[in-house]
Copies of this chain bind each other. A is one copy, B any other.
Amino acid sequence: MAVSLSAASKGESLAQVDTPALILDLDVFQRNCDRLEQALRGRAIQLRPHAKSHKCPEIAKRQIARGAVGICCQKVSEAQVFADAGINDILISNEVVGDKKIARLCELAKSIHVSVCVDHLENASAINAAALAAGVVIPVLIGVEVGSHRCGVAPGEPTLALAHAIVQMPGLRFQGLQAYHGPAQHMRTQEERLTAIGRAIELTKSTRDLLASHGIHCTTIAGAGTGSFLIEAASDLYTELQVGSYIFMDADYARNDWQTSGMPRFEHSLFVWTSVMSVAGDSHVVVDAGLKASSVDSGMPVVADYPGAKFVKASDEHGVLAVDPKQMSPLPLGTKLKLIPGHCDPTVNLYNELIVIQNNAVVDIWPIAARGALL
């Protein structure tokens, strides 16, 4: 394809950036990083941010420069992109199933430190066999089901049985437990989150102790997300936190009750920059960002800066804003405005580049190099 378009060039003003585009407010991004570090100050816990949220090597490098021990990825292909960009310590916090994927995992293990999660004996055996054939040893965490109701072997005896098998596989090195509670991240009240993560901690701790009583020691207990990480950090159990969304803070996370939780109040740094493209309707205007510009799985995007405007409907290339004439003047044709995406991860995955803004000017353009890395 010869056509290659960018929404902006370095040095342009924000107003000049074409739409729709994904923009990152660099100062806010940095403040969010600061807040996370302040919140964890004094805790003996490592940070391994999740790169599935940003898919952007420039961000991963900044996270590592600030002290992260490495990153998490969800896919081998994603890890390949980050390895190619110089990131050399990656946990694939997910199961890797299938011959082609396992072969790529083992190939990657020849050049960087890459670890992986398993929740099934058959999968552990397949990775072991491929690792032996490739002449590598793959560190593994057992994915334990602590409330996500998704992947993960049951805690207690089933985890012990799998651990027993893994420690006998010469192509694998047992490293510990992956104990992530996904739904807890989006529970709205701190009470709900405390209950859910409290239960996850209890299950993980008893499983860790059970393994220890059989001579199998966990060096890593990994998990946590932006909604719950302070709870895991205070547990004296988790050794690594896998927060991802804190850098961006999407509209759905903002619906959590942050006031009562003691959690840092991260600010929105990520926006879909869009233009009013039709004002022909009586009671609405249309913007040029729809389903292909902002994922709606966690609700519609929220219009920033205009409290009287509400994003009410998304179709493929259009967003319909209801505008309350009592709260604001009509938005003229061509007005550019910011949308706060409902869910950052799948929204980032729609774009090739992140337009980095500081003081209303484009200071950088960062490739979202792992966009579409699904395999």
Give the number of times this chain occurs in the complex, counting copies.
2
Give the shortest distance, in Å, between A323 (CB) and chain B (any CB).
14
Q: For A318, what are the chain B residues with a Cβ–Cβ distance below 8 Å?
A: 150-151
> Which one, B2, B98, B120, contacts A278 given CB within 8 A?
B120
Give the shortest distance, in Å, between A244 (CB) and chain B (any CB).
10
Q: Which of A169-177, A210-218, A260-268, A286-294 is near enough to bind chain B?
A: A286-294
Asked whether A5 is an interface residue with its Cβ less than 8 Å from the other chain, the reply is yes
Indicate the size class of the contact surface on chain A: 35 or more
C-beta contact mask, A347-369 vs B, less than 8 Å → 1, else 0? 00111100000000000000101
C-beta contact mask, A161-173 vs B, less than 8 Å → 1, else 0? 0000000000000
Pairwise interchain contact B375-A5, C-beta atoms closer than 8 A: yes
> Which one, B293, B317, B343, B345, contacts A52 given CB within 8 A?
B317
Pairwise interchain contact A333-B123, C-beta atoms closer than 8 A: yes
Give the secondary structure class of A's interface.
loop
Pairwise interchain contact B317-A94, C-beta atoms closer than 8 A: yes
Known: A98-B334, A296-B297. 8 other contacts (CB 8 A): A1-B85, A5-B80, A5-B375, A18-B375, A94-B317, A120-B278, A150-B278, A291-B346
Q: For A149, what are the chain B residues with a Cβ–Cβ distance below 8 Å?
A: 281, 284, 320
C-beta contact mask, A316-327 vs B, less than 8 Å → 1, else 0? 111010000000
User: Can you name 25 A-B pairs with beta carbons within 8 Å?
Assistant: A3-B373, A7-B374, A18-B98, A19-B98, A21-B374, A21-B375, A75-B317, A97-B276, A97-B278, A97-B334, A120-B278, A120-B279, A120-B333, A143-B280, A145-B281, A149-B284, A150-B281, A150-B286, A151-B280, A291-B295, A292-B346, A292-B374, A293-B374, A350-B350, A351-B372
Q: For A21, what are the chain B residues with a Cβ–Cβ distance below 8 Å?
A: 374-375
Asked whether A314 is an interface residue with its Cβ less than 8 Å from the other chain, the reply is yes
Pairwise interchain contact A3-B346, C-beta atoms closer than 8 A: no
Pairwise interchain contact A74-B346, C-beta atoms closer than 8 A: no
Query: Restricting to A170-189, which residues have a CB under 8 Å from any CB of B?
Result: 182
> Which one, B182, B291, B320, contacts A315 given CB within 8 A?
B182
Pairwise interchain contact A145-B280, C-beta atoms closer than 8 A: yes
Asked whether A70 is an interface residue with its Cβ less than 8 Å from the other chain, the reply is no
Asked whether A33 is an interface residue with its Cβ less than 8 Å from the other chain, the reply is no
C-beta contact mask, A75-87 vs B, less than 8 Å → 1, else 0? 1010011001100
Asked whether A204 is an interface residue with its Cβ less than 8 Å from the other chain, the reply is no
Q: Which B residue's beta carbon lies closest to that of A55?
A: B292
Pairwise interchain contact A84-B315, C-beta atoms closer than 8 A: no
